């Protein structure tokens, strides 16, 4: 039996930031541990997890648009699948984030939300959650 939780995501665009904050909160509330660390990680190499503002949808849009313009579509890339830009973005943003869990809640700032970052969509994707008590 696996001791971690999977969130299923269906992205709809090539580059898309999917707000998973409420699903992360739901998992933590259902968990037995009221204090510890929560790892939020994706098993995909053309995606990432980040924490940023989720009040104004323009913020994740702007981050995605910056990344799209930063990484060239082609040129010197050798990977034949053509999705090297997505792999680059994945390593720039990172595959995981970690949150403090305290009194059964994630410690997030007023403006912070958790996003799954799609860089090679649309696709079916997953994010894994693992809570370590302490």
Interface residues with a second copy (CB under 8 A) are 2-4, 35-37, 39, 41-45, 50-53, 56, 58-59, 61-63, 65-66, 69-71, 76-81, 84, 87-88, 90-100, 102-103, 107-112, 128, 130-134
Nearest distance from C-beta of residue 100 to a second copy, angstroms:
4
In this complex, which beta carbon is closest to a second copy, that of residue 26 or of residue 65? 65
Q: Give whole-number Cα distances, 92 to 31, 67, 96, 102, 107, in Å.
A: 31, 9, 11, 29, 24
Q: Tabulate helix, strand, coil % of the chain (nearest 5).
A: 25, 35, 40
In this complex, which beta carbon is closest to a second copy, that of residue 19 or of residue 51? 51
In this complex, which beta carbon is closest to a second copy, that of residue 10 or of residue 102? 102
Closest CA to 121 of 95, 99, 90, 100: 90
């Amino acid at each position: 039996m696996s001791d971690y939780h999977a969130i299923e995501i269906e992205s709809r665009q090539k580059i898309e930031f999917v707000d998973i904050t409420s699903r992360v909160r739901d998992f933590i509330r259902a968990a037995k541990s009221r204090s510890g660390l929560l790892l939020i990680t994706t098993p995909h190499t053309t995606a990432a997890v980040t924490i940023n503002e989720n009040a104004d949808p323009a913020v994740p849009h702007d981050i995605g648009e910056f990344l799209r313009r930063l990484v060239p579509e082609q040129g010197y890339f050798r990977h034949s699948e053509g999705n090297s830009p997505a792999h680059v973005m994945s390593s720039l943003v990172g595959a995981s984030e970690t949150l403090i869990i305290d009194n059964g809640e994630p410690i997030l700032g007023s403006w912070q939300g958790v996003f799954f970052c799609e860089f090679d969509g649309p696709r079916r994707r997953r994010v894994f959650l693992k809570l370590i008590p302490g």
